[in-house]
Amino acid sequence: MTRTTKVIVAAMAIVTLALLFCGWQIKRFAATPLTLQQEKIYTLPAGTGRVALEAQLVSQHIIPQSIWFSSLLKLEPELARFKAGTYRLEASMTVRELLQLLASGKEAQFPLRFIEGSRLQEWLSQLRAAPYIHHTLPEDNADAVAAALKLDRARLEGWFYPDTYLYTANTSDVAILKRAHERMEKAIREVWQNKQADLPYRNENDLVTMASIIEKETGVSEERSKVASVFINRLRIGMRLQTDPTVIYGLGEAWNGTLTRKDLDTPTPYNTYTINGLPPGPIAMPGKASLEAAAHPVKSNYLYFVADGKGGHTFTTNLASHNRAVQAWRLAMKEKNEK
C-alpha cells in the first residue's frame, strides 16, 4: 500500500468516524428529554420556519440549546413537516416525540363541562372564561346567541345538550353552542317520537319544559319519573304545578337566594303558583334522563312531594299526607341544625 493510499484510507476512516459520531450525537439529541418540569401548552404560529421553531423552543425552555437541531431535521425530514397549532407538551417527552407531535397536527383538546340543570346565561359565562376560545358573540345574552345561530329565541333555554365538550384552540364560542344545540335537537326528537301516548304536551317544547322542571326538582335518578308523574297528574286535573324552581327562574336577577311568600304571590309568566299549566318555556338545560322521565312518567296517583331530609323526597297522594310529610321534613331539618 502506497503512502498516498494510506493517507486516503486514513482520511476516509476519519470521515466515517466523524459521520458516525455526528449521527450518534444527532440521535442522542433526538432522545434528549424536554427541559420541562410540567405539562405545557405550546402554540406554534402559522408560517414558522425551522430556525424560528428552534429559537422559540429554546427561548421558552422547552428544549436545550444544541447544534444538532437543524441536523436532526435534515436527517429525519419527516420531523420537519410541523404544522401550526396549539399542542399539549408532556414533561416526559423527548425532542423527537415533540417534533413528531408537531408534525402530526394533533392539537391539544380542552374540556368544557356544561352540567344538567344549568342555564344558558351560565353557559355563556363559562364560554367567556374558557381558555383558547375564539369569542365571536358580541354580547353574552340570548339575543346574541339567537342571531348567531339563526334560532328562535324561544328555542334557546333548555335546547342545548349538557355534556363535556372537547375543543381545540381557536374554536369559536358559536361552534360549541351549535354542537350542543344540534345534539339536544336530536335527543329531543328521539324522545318525543318514543314518548308515552296521551301526555298533556302540545309540542316538543312542552316536553323540554317539563324535563327542565324535573331536572331542577331532583338529582336522584330513580325519583325523576315519580316527579314527572306528580306534575302530569296535576296538569290532567287542572291543578297548578306550584314548583319553586319556575318561580326562581321568573324572578331573574331579582332572585337573592331566598324564596319568600311575596315571591310566590307575585305573578310572572313562570310563577306556577299563579299561572295554570306549564310555564312558557324551559327553565334550564335538562339532561337525557330528565327528558326520558318527562316522556315516560310512572303511573301513579301522586299529587305532592316534599324533601325527606335525606337527599330524596316523600311522595303523597293527598294534602293531609303531604302536610304530615312536610312536618316530618321540618323536624328532620331542626334536628340536623341542632347537631
**pLDDT at residue number 15:** 56
Per-residue pLDDT reduced to its tens digit, 16-57 = 655 555 667 788 889 999 999 999 999 999 999 999 999 999
pLDDT band at 325 (very low <50, low <70, confident <90, very high): confident
Position 7: which residue type?
A: V
The pLDDT > 70 percentage for the chain reads: 93
H runs (alpha helix) in the chain: 3-30, 50-59, 69-75, 95-104, 120-129, 142-149, 173-193, 204-217, 224-237, 244-251, 261-265, 288-295, 319-338
Q: What is the pLDDT of residues 170-198, one digit of tens each?
A: 999 999 999 999 999 999 999 999 999 99
The pLDDT value recorded for residue 144 is 96
pLDDT band at 257 (very low <50, low <70, confident <90, very high): confident
Instruction: Please state the rounded mean pLDDT for residues 98-108.
Output: 96
Confidence band, pLDDT 50/70/90 cuts, at residue 328:
confident
User: For all residues of the chain together, what is the average pLDDT?
Assistant: 91
pLDDT at 113: 97
Indicate whether 77 pLDDT > 70.
yes
Of 285, 96, 253, residue with least CA distance to 181: 285
Residue 288 · residue 188 · CB < 8 Å: no
* Beta-carbon-side half-sphere exposure of residue 72 (alpha carbons within 13 Å): 26
- In this predicted structure, the answer to whether residue 84 has a pLDDT above a threshold of 70 is yes
At residue 329 the predicted structure's pLDDT band, cuts being 50, 70 and 90, is: confident
Alpha carbon distance 331, 339 (integer Å):
13
- The Cα–Cα gap between 25 and 42 comes to 26
Residue 275: phi, psi to the nearest 5?
-110, 160
Closest CA to 35 of 4, 66, 8, 11: 66
Structural domains of the chain ordered from first start: 3-104 (3.30.1490.480), 109-188 (no CATH), 197-338 (no CATH)
Grid coordinates belonging to 333 = 331539618
In this prediction, residue 68 carries a pLDDT of 85
Q: Is the pLDDT of residue 267 over 90?
A: yes
Instruction: Note whether 58 and 36 are within 8 A (CB).
Output: no
Higher pLDDT, 305 or 334: 305
Among 1-10, 145-154, 201-210, 325-334, the least confident range: 1-10
- Does the pLDDT of residue 10 top 60, yes or no? no
What Cα–Cα distance (Å) separates residue 299 from each residue in 210, 218, 232, 281?
Answer: 16, 18, 10, 25
Q: Determine the pLDDT at residue 334.
A: 74
Cα 259 from Cα 264, distance rounded (Å): 8
Share of the chain above pLDDT 90, in %: 78
CA neighbor of 229 nearest in space, from 200, 250, 203, 271 = 200
